[in-house]
Amino acid sequence: SLKQMAATKVPEVRDITRIERIGAHSHIRGLGLDDALEPRQVSQGMVGQLASRRAAGVILEMIKDGHIAGRAVLIAGQPGTGKTAIAMGIAQSLGPDTPFTALAGSEIFSLEMSKTEALSQAFRKAIGVRIKEETEIIEGEVVEIQIDRPATGTGAKVGKLTLKTTEMETIYDLGNKMIDSLSKEKVQAGDVITIDKATGKISKLGRSFTRARDYDAMGAQTQFVQCPEGELQKRKEVVHTVSLHEIDVINSRTQGFLALFSGDTGEIKSEVREQINAKVCEWREEGKAEIIPGVLFIDEVHMLDIECFSFLNRALESDLSPVLIMATNRGITRIRGTNYQSPHGIPIDLLDRLLIIATSPYNEKETRQILKIRCEEEDVELTEEAQTILTRIALETSLRYAIQLISTAALVCRKRKGTEVHVDDIKKVYALFLDEARSSQYMKEYQDSFLFNETRDLIHWFETCV
Amino acid sequence: MDPDSERVLQYLTEVEEAAEDVLATKQQIVDLDTKRNKNREALSALRNEFSDSEKVKVCFGNMFIKFPAAKTKEMIQRDQEQLDKEINDLRNGLKAKVNRLNEIQGKPELRGYSLTSLSADELKAVNSLLKR
**Residue A417 to residues A374, A393, A404, Cα–Cα distance (Å):** 22, 24, 20
- 8 A C-beta contact, residue A100 and residue A214: no
CATH class of domain segment(s) A1-98+294-361? alpha beta
Nearest Cβ partner of B115 from A171, A250, A288?
A: A288
Task: Kindly determine whether residue B118 and residue A171, on different chains, have CB atoms separated by under 8 Å.
Answer: no
Q: Which residues from B are below 8 Å from A97, CB to CB?
A: 111
- 8 A C-beta contact, residue A129 and residue A292: yes
- 8 A C-beta contact, residue B91 and residue B29: yes
Cβ atoms within 10 Å, residue A108: 22
Nearest Cβ partner of A242 from B37, B114, B129?
A: B129
Q: What is the pLDDT of residues A1-20, one digit of tens each?
A: 344 333 344 444 443 433 44
**Residue A156 to residues A23, A178, A352, B41, Cα–Cα distance (Å):** 63, 12, 76, 21
Nearest Cβ partner of B33 from A231, A240, A289?
A: A231
Q: 3-state DSSP call for residue A290?
A: strand
Q: What is the pLDDT of residues A284-295, one digit of tens each?
A: 999 888 888 888
Domain regions of chain B by residue span: 3-110
Cβ atoms within 10 Å, residue A419: 7
Distant-in-sequence contacts of A94-97, Cβ < 8 A, 24+ apart? A94/A60, A94/A63, A94/A64, A94/A294, A94/A295, A97/A128, A97/A130, A97/A241, A97/A292, A97/B111
Residue B75 has pLDDT above 80, yes or no: yes
Lowest mean pLDDT among A384-398, A444-458, B81-95, B107-121: A444-458
Q: What is the pLDDT of residues A383-413, one digit of tens each?
A: 888 889 889 888 888 888 888 889 899 888 9
Q: How far is B15 from chain A (nearest CA, A)?
A: 23
Q: Which residues from B are below 8 Å from A173, CB to CB?
A: 44, 48
Rounded to the nearest integer, the mean pLDDT of chain A is 81
Residue B74 has pLDDT above 50, yes or no: yes
Element (H, E) at A456: helix A455-465
Q: 3-state DSSP call for residue A430?
A: helix
Distant-in-sequence contacts of A202-207, Cβ < 8 A, 24+ apart? A202/A178, A205/A139
Q: How far is A295 from chain B (nearest CA, A)?
A: 19
Q: Which residues from A are below 8 Å from B92, CB to CB?
A: none
Element (H, E) at A408: helix A399-415
Task: Kindly determine whether residue B34 and residue A246, on different chains, have CB atoms separated by under 8 Å.
Answer: no
Q: 3-state DSSP call for residue A252?
A: helix
- The reported pLDDT for the residue numbered A5 is 39
Q: Is the dihedral of CA B112, B113, B114, B116 positive or negative?
A: positive
Residue of B nearest to A286 (CA): B116
Q: Which residues from B are below 8 Å from A96, CB to CB?
A: none
Nearest Cβ partner of A132 from B30, B41, B112?
A: B112
User: CA-to-CA distance for A398 and A376, rounded, in angstroms?
Assistant: 20
CATH numeric code, B3-110 = 1.10.287.370
CATH class of domain segment(s) A133-238? mainly beta
| SS3 annotation, chain B | CCHHHHHHHHHHHHHHHHHHHHHHHHHHHHHHHHHHHHHHHHHHHHHHHCCCCCEEEEEECCEEEEEEHHHHHHHHHHHHHHHHHHHHHHHHHHHHHHHHHHHHCCCCCCCCCCCCCCCHHHHHHHHHHHCC
Domain regions of chain A by residue span: 1-98+294-361, 133-238, 364-433
Residues of chain A with pLDDT under 70: 1-23, 66-70, 153, 213-221, 253-266, 448-466
Pairing assessment for the beta strands B63-68 and A341-343 based on DSSP bridges: unpaired
Element (H, E) at A85: helix A83-94
Task: Kindly determine whether residue B116 and residue A132, on different chains, have CB atoms separated by under 8 Å.
Answer: yes
In terms of DSSP H, where are the helices of A126-227? 176-184
Are both A133-238 and A364-433 of the same fold? no
**N-to-C CA span, chain A:** 73
Fold of A364-433: Helicase, Ruva Protein; domain 3 (1.10.8)
**Residue A222 to residues A144, A185, A213, A252, Cα–Cα distance (Å):** 19, 14, 12, 40
Q: How far is A25 from chain B (nearest CA, A)?
A: 28
